[in-house]
């Protein structure tokens, strides 16, 4: 059975908008999958469904034997430990130092009463330390998150997600707020740590070139449905048109 199994997933927002239309896809441990598509195609909704932040209308999501679409809020809490999430705007706790932000990735594992007093045993801290070191930010450990640059913040966020020792990492536009140089750097760090740990990683990304370079597999989403699913080499002009220019005829009409 694949690690992630999405079957006929549909989401209709309360205002009637159909965000996702009968999405079916599977992914295995260790894969790096880039989800590409235009703004509003449903990429973010898909990721939010996978960690249970978005209520679904129909279909089901199975992750590592758990049915997310049927889980209660308490069960979701347990399941979410296995899901690392990386946000476009980093969402670090700005007033906490980098190392503490990374340690929050261990909150789901460390006994709550210990965490409340700031106590994490050396084994927990070693995991955080290891991940901070892997993203090359050991020297920033005691710097407050709001003192870090954008690229550093996103690397701390990657370390936080990896400290959960997740089965799957969901990254929602992780490099959209970064300049091309840093985007490249952050993507390579994300791909490297994901491969080292063999973690399934789904990355929503606008930038097709970065997607082709760092992902094993691309999934094209347009108008709430999957219109392409294959290796980067298979992404031809036809597929790109399907993903990005499905309404080109109407766009061109007034001009031509």
Closest distance between other proteins and the C-beta of residue 225, in Å?
38
Applying CB under 8 A, which of residues 138, 176, 248, 251 lies at the interface with other proteins?
138
Quick check: 118 binds other proteins (CB under 8 A)?
A: yes
Q: Which of residues 147-166 bind other proteins (CB under 8 A)?
A: 147
Closer residue to other proteins, CB minimum distance, 150 or 225: 150
x/- mask, other proteins, residues 79-108, rule CB under 8 A, reads: ------------------x-x---------
> Distance between CA atoms of 174 and 186, rounded to whole angstroms?
8
Q: How far is the CB of 136 from other proteins (least distance, A)?
A: 12
CA nearest to 69, candidates 6, 138, 1, 152: 6
Interface segment toward other proteins; rule CB under 8 A; list 120-128, 168-176, 219-227, 247-255 = 120-128
Query: By CB under 8 A, is residue 122 in contact with other proteins?
Result: yes
The site for other proteins, by CB under 8 A, has a size of 19
Residue 141 lies near other proteins (rule: CB under 8 A): yes
Is 21 or 130 the residue whose CB approaches other proteins more closely? Answer: 130
Residue (143 or 212) nearer to other proteins, CB: 143
Report residue 2 as tokens.
């694949």
Does position 127 interact with other proteins (CB under 8 A)? The reply is no
Contact between 144 and other proteins by CB under 8 A: the answer reads yes
Q: Is 234 in the site for other proteins (CB under 8 A)?
A: no
- DSSP letter string over the chain? --SEEEEEEEEE-TTS-EEEEEEEEEE-TT-EEEEE--TTSSHHHHHHHHTTSS--SEEEEEETTEEGGG--HHHHHHHHTTEEEE-TT----TTSBHHHHHHGGGTTTS-HHHHHTT---HHHHHHHHHHHHHTT-GGGTTSBGGGS-HHHHHHHHHHHHHHT--SEEEEESTTTTS-HHHHHHHHHHHHHHHHHHT-EEEEE-S-HHHHHHH-SEEEEEETTEEEEEE-GGG--HHHHHHHH-TTHHHHHTTT-
Sole binder of other proteins in the list 126, 176, 248, 251 (CB under 8 A): 126
Burial tier of 180 (Cβ tally within 10 Å: 0-12, 13-18, 19+): exposed
The residue (of 59 and 97) whose beta carbon lies closer to other proteins is 97
Selected from 139, 149, 196, 252, the binder of other proteins by CB under 8 A is: 139
In the complex, which residues of this chain contact other proteins (CB under 8 A)?
A: 97, 99, 118-122, 125-126, 128-129, 138-144, 147
């Amino acid at each position: 059975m694949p690690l992630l199994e999405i079957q006929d997933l549909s989401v209709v927002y309360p205002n009637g908008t159909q965000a996702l239309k009968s999405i079916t896809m599977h992914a295995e441990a260790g894969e790096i999958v880039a989800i590409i598509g235009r703004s509003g195609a449903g990429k973010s909704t898909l990721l939010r469904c996978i960690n249970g932040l978005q209520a679904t209308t129909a279909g089901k999501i199975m992750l590592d034997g758990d049915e997310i679409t049927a889980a209660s809020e308490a069960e979701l809490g347990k399941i979410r430990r296995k899901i690392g999430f990386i946000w476009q705007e980093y969402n670090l706790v700005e007033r906490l130092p980098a190392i503490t932000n990374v340690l929050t990735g261990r909150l789901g594992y460390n006994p709550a009463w210990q965490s409340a007093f700031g106590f994490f045993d050396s084994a927990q801290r070693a995991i955080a330390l290891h991940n901070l070191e892997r993203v090359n930010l050991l020297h920033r450990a005691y710097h407050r998150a709001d003192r870090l640059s954008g690229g550093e913040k996103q690397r701390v966020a990657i370390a936080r997600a990896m400290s959960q020792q997740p089965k799957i990492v969901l990254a929602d536009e992780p490099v959209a707020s970064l300049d091309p140089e840093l985007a490249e750097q952050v993507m390579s760090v994300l791909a490297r740590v994901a491969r080292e740990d063999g973690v399934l990683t789904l990355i929503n990304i606008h930038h097709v070139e970065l997607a082709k370079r760092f992902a094993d597999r691309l999934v094209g989403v347009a108008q709430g449905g999957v219109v392409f699913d294959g290796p980067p080499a298979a992404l031809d002009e036809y597929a790109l048109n399907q993903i990005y220019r499905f309404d080109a005829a109407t766009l061109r009409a007034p001009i031509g």
